[in-house]
Structure 1
Amino acid sequence: MLRATKVRIYPTPEQAEYLNGQFGAIRFAYNKAALHIKKQAYKRHGVSLNSRKDLKPLLEVAKKSRKYAWLKAYDAIALPQAVINLHTAFDNFFNLKLRAQFPTFKRKQGKQSSYHCVGVKVLEGAVKIPKLSPIKACIHREIEGKVESITLSRTATGKYFAAILCDDGKDAPEMPLPKRIWQCPVCHVEHDRDINAAINIQRKGTTALQAAGLVVSAHGGQRKSVIKTVAA
């Protein structure tokens, strides 16, 4: 069974500089190499490029060019993953059930992240990703099982985190329909399936009302969203 643990990491100034550069390379892969090219191809030629089949190979071509050779300095897995993320974003947008927004360009000021699944390790008080020395981490619980991936992220306020995904080798517990309450074996928190279902229904209902132009208050009331025009 897969389990994810999020920990705070404390990169040195040199490590932070590298991570910020890597985040920039990922933004480039997402914005320029994928989203921009995809939009232009459709706008000019009416062709819908597949992010996985058509755009991923362009990254390797870019690395061999003199202009974009700087991309070689960063993880070879993290950059193609950005293109895959764009593919997923478009799939979600065209899925009417999800009501996802159209993919937009990633900003330098927003949350940044990079995905790593090869050459990753969890050490004592540190995490290791390719092309970088171990990064100090505050690991508050024992990491059990095989480390499948580590996703590093930086918040808009400049804090760094690592999401560690592990496979503990255990089977997921069976959840027959008559069993309504389940307790997490790790944190011992009880989950009521009926309450969770009610929360999910409320979220879907709120999303539907907001899509219809209604503003939903915390007390369950609703009113029409009014946009006032301000004179210039």
Structure 2
Amino acid sequence: MAKVLKGIKLRLYPNQHQADLLWQMFGNSRFVWNQMLAMAKERYHNNPSSHFVNEYGMNYLLKPLKLEFPFLKQSDSTSFLVVNHNLAQAFKMLFKHQGGYPHFKSRRAIRQSYTGRSTCRVIAKRRIKLPKLGSIRTSKTSRIAGLKIKRYTVSYDPTGRYYLSLQVETPAPQILPKTGKTVGLDVGIADLAISSDGTKYKTFNAKWLEKQATQWQSKCSRRRHRAEVAVRQWNHNHKTIKEELTDYQNWQQARMQKARYQQKIANRRKDYLHKLTTKLVKQYDVIVIEDLKTKNLQHNHHLAKVIANASWYEFRTMLEYKCAWYGKRLITIKPNYTSQICSDCGYHSGPKPLAIREWTCPQCGAHHDRDINAAVNILHKGLKAVG
């Protein structure tokens, strides 16, 4: 039976001892990353013509590193192999000119994590056994019962919560029944997707949550500024006892409250996109969409926020893997001139301002909704491309 890889995320509820050990593991993974990166930089500085130390070479250095720093033995040993793999991949992307130079990781980062490949298993309905941590309380584990866990990631996010992300191997989902329908989708701002049959799917909207997140962002910024001033004044006047920014809980609480509202928005957006993409995959056999470069479009500062809120990239990603899972077909085409061509006669009317939402073809007299016309052209181009 065919297998597919899926990601499952669970909430973790560590006790105080386990939480302390988790932070030690976060620090150890960060320490190994920084040590290997510093070694690579120093090696290049001393001899620019030397060969880069590959992943195998970095793994060979782990044993003497553990002898020099015994606290590294408190971590799952496979987590360091993952760190070396990620660093080697980062350098490969750099050499291919597809990424920047890797950066050192900071202990002050609000998001911490480590990834391991060791065996972890479910031992109860709300208990899972992790390497070095032992039995730890989680949310419901019924979704992963009997599945093979390939790797795991423990993370701490800005909301102050711990999560366990699992990569599991599951049987491939059942192929959905064929409907014989095809559709072209034009993505937009006011409407997330407009189909060639005239259906418009609204963009996700959470105005109240966004307002709350903005207010708490302002509170967090003001409280942090006051805390920074207080820390500077105290440290200037007291030479023996020094304060740190983390000693001021007022801005820490505002930061956490802001992060929780932002996470609520992200979770609801993802839920909306999952429901919409599943509906489309069930309804149509062939889906044609535009191959938009979202990162380039976000250079327009007037539209960057609404484009990010629409989550075009995530929408496309979900369609891609769901079509692959359920036996449907996704076709991507170049978006050139799709909103300028009459879908009835093929007349090219030229570019139009975004304010024009409807227009009439001067050649055949057909009246078009701009977005629906573009979706029909997208469908035609996609079907023509695949014959």
1 CA distance for matches of 2:280 and 2:104? 37
Q: Which structure: larger Rg?
A: 2
2:91 matched residue in structure 1: 90
Q: Which amino acid aligns with 2:102?
A: P
Alignment-mate amino acid for residue 166 of structure 1: V
Q: Which amino acid aligns with 2:21?
A: Y
Structure 1 regions of 5+ residues with no counterpart?
222-232
Whether the 8 Å CA contact 2:76–2:118 is kept in 1: the answer is no
Cα distance in 2 for residues equivalent to 1:164 and 1:142 = 11
> Where do 1:101-120 residues align within 5 Å?
101-110=100-109, 111-120=111-120
Which amino acid is 2:112 matched to?
A: Q
Whole-Å Cα distance in 2 between the matches of residues 112 and 2 of structure 1?
24
Match of 1:230 in 2: none
1:134 match? 135
Structure-1 residue corresponding to 2:75: 74
What SS is found at the alignment partner of 1:189? Answer: helix
Amino acid in structure 2 at the alignment position of 1:189? T
- Secondary structure, aligned partner of 2:77: coil
CA distance in 1, matches of 2:45, 2:182: 51
2:67 counterpart of 1:64: yes
How far apart are 1:158 and its partner, in Å? 2.8
TM-score, with normalisation over the residues of structure 2? 0.46
1:38/1:48 contact within 8 Å kept: no
Deviation at 1:172, TM superposition (A): 8.5
For normalisation by structure 1, the TM-score amounts to: 0.74
Partner of 2:167: 165
CA drift of 1:173 comes to 5.5
Alignment map for 1:206-217 (pairs within 5 Å): 206=297, 210=299, 215=301, 217=303
Aligned-residue offset at 1:194: 4.8
Cα distance change, pair 173–89 in 1 and its aligned pair in 2 (3 A): farther
Unaligned residue ranges in structure 2 (runs of 5+): 184-273, 308-352, 354-387
Q: 1:51 to 1:11 in 2, by over 3 A?
A: farther
SS of alignment partner, residue 171 of structure 2: coil
Moved more, 71-80 or 41-50: 41-50
Q: Tell me the amino acid that sits aligned with residue 107 of structure 2.
A: K
Counterpart AA for 1:190: K
Q: 1:128 to 1:216 in 2, by over 3 A?
A: farther
Q: Which amino acid letter does the alignment assign opposite residue 158 of structure 1?
A: G
| Aligned-partner Cα distance in 1 for 2:164–2:120 | 11
**Structure 1 or 2: more helix by fraction:** 2
CA distance in structure 2 between the aligned counterparts of 1:20 and 1:150, rounded to whole angstroms: 16
| C-alpha separation in 1, matches of 2:161 and 2:86 | 23
Task: Output the amino acid matched with 1:217.
Answer: L
Tell me the secondary structure at the aligned position of residue 4 of structure 1. strand
Pick from 281, 294, 307 the counterpart of residue 203 of structure 1. Answer: 294
